[in-house]
């Protein structure tokens, strides 16, 4: 039963790593070994060979197989970085639990169960926000605690909305009450609100901004790069299971597209006015999620293909950006002492990762986001030119934000190190503070960022490595013909 082993093996190993949490490197090594084993197991699963266990169907399609390898790869990269960068003492256990539950979402073909698993992921990942390093002598700050509570409440609300929608779809009978207003629009509204919360669409984006601003970067990868793409796949499975919602939904898809396009514009505009580097990154992520949701709501072959490729780009781009932020903020008295504008010169690999991940998030070539955005524009062009203009506005604002961010934080003139102070009369060297000590980039994390950028660029330059599989999966969807 490889499907059950894929789900429960990392969950069971999470409890083992929890017991070893005080031995951080041992726990992380065990977690990395677990995910490598998961990769080997995933290669043994027969694609498109469904089985049924306890009334639940398990199936791994070629599309879900791509995301399975993607999520396992993101998890391995995050845990390897944790061997060097600061992190919470329970990161290994939380990471394995999150990945195990995400795999369950990918292989289980039951909307009710996946809705419950989504809520469970929210309860698990919120622990990563408040997780402190081993031996930390401080308590959780007020901002971090507020971000965790906000995330928890909104994810629970999202789960409740989705569960109500699934209950209604179970009792919904198309054409049963002729002449009455169809509940399909209400069900679609519940689904859209639930998934908009999970994908941080404006105005449901505040949890994402707080999370990126106040939580650890490695924890942020687990909270964004895994659940957001998985949520899109669940939405796709829902519409595939209940295509009658599209038949009787009327103009609901137009509302979804309009809301997603406006969300992308607002998020990109807010990124221009954000007062911190992390705040701008958070708004760029929210804007990218808006474009993805628009592509999905178009329910066309280019749109759905662009949304799926955009979700892959989202996971890789977020991982690159947050790893780079963690590397920029790696303990360094000189960088922490002042606000610097020459980060690219001080931390070249971190600067390259931040710039490359940012280019992926704003949809520039040669990154997968470029192909994803072109497919989104193609889907919009098939509808009307106004939506093309709105999407182009969002993309232009996001590009302007990245240019502004690069000038302000990365490519400024190289700043000299502060000179040592001259001792005053009758003052010895012992009375002076030690000069700031510059700490170089850890080679391991810099190498991880370099490998990650190479992978993203290869996918961007050769999108046909994935697009045929994605388009074949999209063409098989009943919801595509329903629209």
Residue 382 has pLDDT above 70, yes or no: yes
Bridge-partner residues for 53, per DSSP? 56
pLDDT value for 393: 95
Provide the 3-class DSSP secondary structure of residue 250.
coil
Q: pTM for this one?
A: 0.90
Q: CB burial class (10 A; 0-12, 13-18, 19+) of residue 49? A: exposed
Residue with tokens 């990245």, as numbered in its chain: 402
Contact assessment for residue 208 and residue 286, using Cβ atoms and an 8 Å cutoff? yes
Residue 60 has pLDDT above 90, yes or no: no
CA 400, distance to chain mean position in Å, is 22
Q: Quote the tokens at residue 83.
A: 């061997």
pLDDT value for 337: 40
pLDDT value for 246: 75
High-pLDDT (> 90) share of the chain, %: 42
Instruction: Give the C-alpha separation, 308 to 291, whole Å.
Output: 11
High-pLDDT (> 70) share of the chain, %: 87
In degrees, to the nearest 5, what angle opens at C-alpha 152 toward C-alphas 277 and 203? 55
- Given pLDDT bands bounded at 50, 70 and 90, which one contains residue 176? low
pLDDT value for 123: 86
List pLDDT tens digits, range 305-360: 999 999 999 999 999 999 999 888 877 544 444 456 777 888 889 899 999 999 99
Instruction: Give the C-alpha separation, 94 to 127, whole Å.
Output: 7
Contact assessment for residue 105 and residue 8, using Cβ atoms and an 8 Å cutoff? no
List pLDDT tens digits, range 400-459: 999 999 988 887 766 655 555 555 545 555 444 455 455 567 788 889 999 999 999 999
- Least Cα distance to 85 among 219, 224, 225, 282 occurs for 219
List pLDDT tens digits, range 272-285: 988 888 999 999 99
Mean pLDDT of the chain: 85
Question: What are the backbone angles phi and psi of residue 214, rounded to the nearest 5°?
Answer: -120, -20
Instruction: Give the C-alpha separation, 221 to 98, whole Å.
Output: 11
- Torsion, Cα 344 345 349 353, to 10 degrees, reads 10
Instruction: Give the C-alpha separation, 360 to 321, whole Å.
Output: 10
- End-to-end CA separation in angstroms for the chain: 37
Residue 62 has pLDDT above 70, yes or no: yes
- Given pLDDT bands bounded at 50, 70 and 90, which one contains residue 21? confident
pLDDT value for 333: 41
Residue 22 has pLDDT above 50, yes or no: yes
List pLDDT tens digits, range 468-481: 999 888 887 766 65
Instruction: Give the C-alpha separation, 297 to 260, whole Å.
Output: 8
pLDDT value for 96: 94
pLDDT value for 336: 45
pLDDT value for 378: 94
Give the mean model confidence (pLDDT) for residues 193-216. 89
**Candidate from 2-16, 265-279, 330-344, 455-469 with smallest mean pLDDT:** 330-344
Domain-wise residue ranges, the chain: 252-415+441-483
């Amino acid at each position: 039963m490889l499907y059950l082993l894929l789900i429960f093996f990392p969950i069971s190993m999470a409890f083992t790593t929890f017991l070893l949490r005080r031995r951080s490197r041992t726990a992380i090594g065990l977690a990395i070994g677990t995910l490598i084993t998961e990769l080997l197991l995933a290669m043994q699963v027969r694609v498109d060979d469904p089985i049924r266990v306890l009334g639940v169907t398990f199936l791994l399609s070629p599309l879900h197989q791509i995301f399975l390898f993607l999520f396992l790869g993101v998890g391995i990269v995050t845990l390897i970085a944790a061997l060097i960068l600061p992190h919470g003492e329970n990161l290994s256990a939380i990471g394995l639990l999150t990945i195990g539950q995400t795999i369950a979402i990918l292989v289980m073909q039951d909307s009710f169960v996946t809705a419950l698993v989504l809520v469970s992921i929210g309860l698990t990942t919120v622990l990563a926000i408040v997780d402190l390093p081993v031996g930390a002598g401080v308590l959780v700050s007020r901002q971090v605690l507020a971000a965790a509570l906000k995330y928890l409440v909104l994810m629970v609300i999202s789960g409740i909305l989705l569960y109500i929608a699934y209950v209604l779809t179970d009792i919904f009978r198309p054409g049963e009450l002729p002449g009455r207003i169809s509940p399909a629009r209400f069900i679609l509204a519940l689904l859209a609100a639930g998934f908009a919360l999970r994908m941080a669409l404006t105005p449901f984006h505040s949890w994402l901004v707080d999370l990126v601003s106040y939580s650890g970067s490695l924890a942020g990868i687990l909270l964004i790069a895994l659940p957001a793409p998985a949520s899109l796949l669940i939405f796709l499975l829902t519409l595939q299971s209940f295509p009658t919602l599209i038949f009787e939904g009327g103009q609901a898809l137009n509302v979804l597209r309009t809301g997603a396009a406006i969300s992308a514009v607002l998020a990109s505009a807010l990124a221009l006015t954000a007062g911190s580097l992390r705040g701008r990154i958070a708004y760029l992520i929210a804007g990218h999620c808006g474009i993805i949701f628009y592509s999905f709501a178009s329910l066309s072959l280019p749109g759905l293909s662009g949304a799926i490729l955009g979700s892959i780009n989202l996971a890789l781009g977020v991982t690159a950006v947050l790893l780079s932020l963690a590397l920029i903020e790696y303990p360094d008295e000189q960088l922490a002492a002042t606000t610097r504008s020459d980060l690219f010169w001080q931390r070249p690999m971190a600067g390259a990762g931040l710039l490359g991940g940012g280019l992926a998030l704003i949809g520039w070539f040669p990154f997968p986001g470029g192909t994803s955005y072109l497919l989104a524009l193609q889907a919009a062009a098939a509808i009307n030119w106004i939506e093309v203009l709105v999407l182009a506005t969002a993309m232009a604002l996001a590009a302007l934000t990245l240019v502004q961010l690069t000038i302000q934080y990365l490519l400024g003139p190289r700043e000299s190190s502060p000179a040592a102070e001259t001792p005053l009369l009758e003052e010895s060297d012992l009375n002076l503070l030690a000069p700031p000590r510059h700490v170089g980039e850890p080679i391991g994390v810099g190498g991880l960022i370099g490998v990650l950028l190479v992978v993203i660029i290869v996918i961007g330059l050769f999108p046909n490595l994935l697009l045929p599989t994605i388009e074949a999966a999209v063409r098989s969807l009943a919801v595509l013909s329903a629209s």
